[in-house]
Structure 1
Amino acid sequence: VINEAIDLAKKFGSNDSGRFVNGILDQLAKS
């Protein structure tokens, strides 16, 4: 699921978007 979200972010934004989404999901996973 996380990888799919990152792939979507890369499709709709820049490479930084993938890193951005990954950071958000990482924080959600830790909480």
Structure 2
Amino acid sequence: MERLTPQEESVMLLIWPLGECAIKDVVDKMEEPKP
């Protein structure tokens, strides 16, 4: 199994607690500057 990149891992750490969510939900949880 491949390891996640640091960027992928940071996004997954936002997604896991949210469960089922939309991209907007994840972006809302990100710190500034947002993509």
TM-score range with shorter-chain normalisation? 0.3 to 0.5
More helix by share: 1
Highest RCO, 1 vs 2 (Cα 8 Å, sep ≥ 6): 1
When the two structures are superposed, what TM-score results if normalisation uses the length of structure 2? 0.35
